Structures are given as C-alpha cells and as structure tokens.
C-alpha cells in the first residue's frame, strides 16, 4: 500500500536566519516566492550590531511579509568566542563555530515551530574562513541540520538537500552565485524589488583589529573564562592602555563614552577631573601607588590643559573618595604608544 504524505510534507515550513544584510533577505525571498511558509529568525549576541541591527532585521521581515522570532543568545555565544573549536579568523572572529552555534539555535526553533528546514544566505566563496565548500559541509554537519539546511543563493553549486529532493522547491527556483562580487545579489534584489538594504560591511565587532587586540590582551592577562559579558562590552570603549601586568587604564574619548564608562565602573577605580574639562577614566586591577599616579597622569594627558602644572582629580575606589593633584603626561611621552592596546 502506498504511504500517504502528511500535511506538513505538502505544506513545508522553513526558518530563515536573518542578519539584516542583503544575502539573508534574498535567501528568504527566494523561498517565500515559491509559496513555502517562512519564519524569520534573528539571533542576538554581543558583537552583532545591537539595536541598529535588530531594527534592520525587523524592517527586513516586514518587507518580506514574514513573521520574525528574535532570540537573545548573548551569554551562551560567549563560550564560542572564548574557546572556538575551529579557531579564529584575522581578528578574534570564530566564524565557523559561530555559524554552527547560530544554526543549532535555528534547529531548535525549527523543531519548536514544526518546520522542515532552515534557510541561510551563505554564498560559496564569499568569505574565506566560513564559506568555502569544506566549511559549509562542517557547519551543516556539526549544527545537526545536515541536509535540512538550504542555501538558496548557491544551492545549484552544492549537492541537493532535503527540500530539493522532496520537491518542496525546484532547482529552477534556486541560484548558483559564488565569490565576493555583489553584482548578482544586486541584480536579484532589483528583481525582487528589494531596494532598502545596508551596504556590505564587517558587521561583527570580533573582526575589528583594534577590538580583537583588546580581547587578546584580556584573555592573556585574565584567562578567557574570566572575561565576562560586561568586560566584553567595556572593551569597546575609550582609549585603553596596559600600564602593568594586572593594571589597565580606560579613558573616555567623548561624552557618550564617559557615560558608558560610568555605567561600567563597578569594581574599578574611577578617575574624574575636578577643575578642568576632561575624560572619565577607569583603572582595572590593583595598581600600586606609582601605577595609580601614572594612570592619573595619563588621564591628565587628555584633559583640556595646556601645560604641565598639576591637575586635580577625584578618585573613587572601594567606597572611598580622595583628591589627588598630578601633572599630566607630556603629549609626546613615548610610553603612551607602548602602553596602548
């Protein structure tokens, strides 16, 4: 007796990972166009663009006419950043492990929503670490999705996966885009009438060279497992200087950063100029008296002060407040460049 297909098999549902970029939008549009129900999924983590990116993703879902699920995996994602099985890229970007993490989350949503497969906007050869063929195979396997993962923009360059074999979507509806040129995606966007999309950029903070240097410094000094979510956030801000093995100084560059440092000051020494305009500074670690004076003098270097006369600062630490007057470091002090992270 011939086995009857279930209703779900006739009416498949897909989960589309949405980053806010053009590729993921196009991938979702390709599958939506053939009549498959698509649910957008945005996975939030600490390094992906924050509220601006979330707003872009929400706008994308509205343009596509699909519902959106947003899941915050910030804390869980830190384990991937601290100890990536497949290593880092040029920064501290664990791209392969990150894709696996995202797709494991998508798999959970797929199962919860009773969907049949997951869509991504990955393009063969677009990114050197995570989108060559072997990396794509690793990601599919280790995420647990296997052939329930469809990459519509490059599917015709890859082996058929379940959605094609089951006839839910034909090869004629899929594409064979490869490489780093964006011309095919722009042409496809015009075809779909998608006009409002961000230009391609690094996007992930972990690829930023300056930020990566700060993360490596923190891992080296404290150990990766000791670096908390708040620490990763603090690494974004200010000028940062390592003046001793266990002593770091963070100096705000503008009012917005001063406010951010103030919010992140718990457990740190706070240095605040009292008589001149200047930045808020934080000191991490346990500085000896000489190191504290250096930290204050370093903060003085960035105050609105034209000579080397002492500047008065209020020092807040461990519930105590004191005032110290210290001459600022000279602007051309060679140690500043050596300390900078």
| CA dihedral angle for residue 21, residue 23, residue 28, residue 32, rounded to 10 degrees | 120
pLDDT in tens, 270-279: 999 998 999 9
Distance CA 336, CA 234 (A): 20
262-294 residues labelled b (16+ CB within 10 A) or e (exposed): eebeeebbbbbbeeeebbbbbbbbebeeebbeb
Q: At what angle do helices 95-112 and 133-142 cross, to 10 degrees?
A: 40
Residue 7 has pLDDT above 70, yes or no: no
With contact defined as beta carbons under 8 Å apart, do 283 and 247 qualify? yes
What are the tens digits of pLDDT across the range 306-315? 888 999 999 9
**pTM assigned to the model:** 0.90
* Cα dihedral 31/33/38/40 (nearest 10): 80
**Sign, CA torsion 266/271/274/279:** negative
CATH number of 7-203: 3.40.50.620, 1.20.1250.20, 3.50.50.60, 3.40.718.10?
Answer: 3.40.50.620
Residue 335 gets which letter from DSSP? Answer: H
DSSP string, 43-112: EE-TTS-HHHHHHHHHHHHHHHT--EEEEE-HHHHHHHHHS-TT---SSS--HHHHHHHHHHHHHHHHHH
Q: Kindly tell me if the per-residue pLDDT of 195 is higher than 90.
A: no
Read off the pLDDT of each residue in 263-284 and give the average, rounded to a whole number: 96
Is residue 5 pLDDT above 60, yes or no? Answer: no
Residues of the chain with CATH 3.40.50.620: 7-203
95-111 pLDDT per residue, tens = 999 999 999 999 999 99
């Amino acid at each position: 007796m011939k086995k009857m297909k279930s209703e779900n098999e006739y009416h498949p549902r897909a989960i589309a990972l949405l980053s806010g970029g053009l590729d993921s939008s196009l991938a979702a549009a390709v599958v939506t166009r053939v009549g498959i129900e698509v649910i957008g999924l945005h996975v939030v983590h600490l390094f992906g663009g924050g509220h601006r990116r979330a707003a872009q993703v929400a706008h994308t879902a509205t343009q596509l006419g699909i519902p959106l699920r947003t899941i915050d995996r910030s804390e869980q994602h830190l384990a991937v950043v601290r100890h990536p099985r497949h290593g880092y890229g040029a920064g501290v970007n664990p791209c392969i492990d990150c894709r696996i993490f995202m797709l494991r989350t998508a798999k959970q949503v797929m199962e919860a929503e009773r969907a049949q497969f997951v869509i991504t906007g990955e393009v063969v050869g677009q990114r050197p670490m995570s989108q060559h063929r072997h990396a794509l195979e690793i990601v599919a396997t280790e995420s647990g999705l296997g052939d329930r993962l469809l990459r519509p923009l490059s599917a015709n360059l890859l082996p058929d996966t379940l959605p094609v074999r089951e006839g839910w979507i034909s090869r004629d509806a899929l594409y064979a885009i490869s490489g780093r040129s964006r011309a095919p995606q722009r042409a496809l966007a015009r075809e779909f009438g998608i006009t409002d999309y961000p230009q391609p950029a690094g996007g992930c903070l972990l690829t930023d060279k300056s930020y990566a240097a700060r993360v490596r410094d923190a891992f080296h000094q404290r150990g990766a497992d000791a670096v908390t979510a708040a620490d990763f956030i603090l690494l974004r801000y200010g000028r940062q200087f390592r003046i001793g093995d266990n002593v770091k100084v963070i100096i705000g560059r503008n009012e917005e950063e001063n406010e951010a440092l103030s919010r992140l000051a718990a457990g740190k020494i706070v240095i605040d100029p009292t008589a001149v305009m200047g930045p808020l500074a934080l000191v991490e670690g346990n500085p000896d008296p000489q190191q504290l004076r250096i930290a204050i003098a370093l903060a003085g270097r960035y105050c609105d002060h034209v000579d080397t006369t002492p500047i008065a600062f209020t020092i807040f630490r461990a519930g105590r407040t004191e005032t110290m007057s210290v001459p600022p470091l000279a602007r051309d002090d060679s140690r500043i460049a050596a300390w900078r992270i």
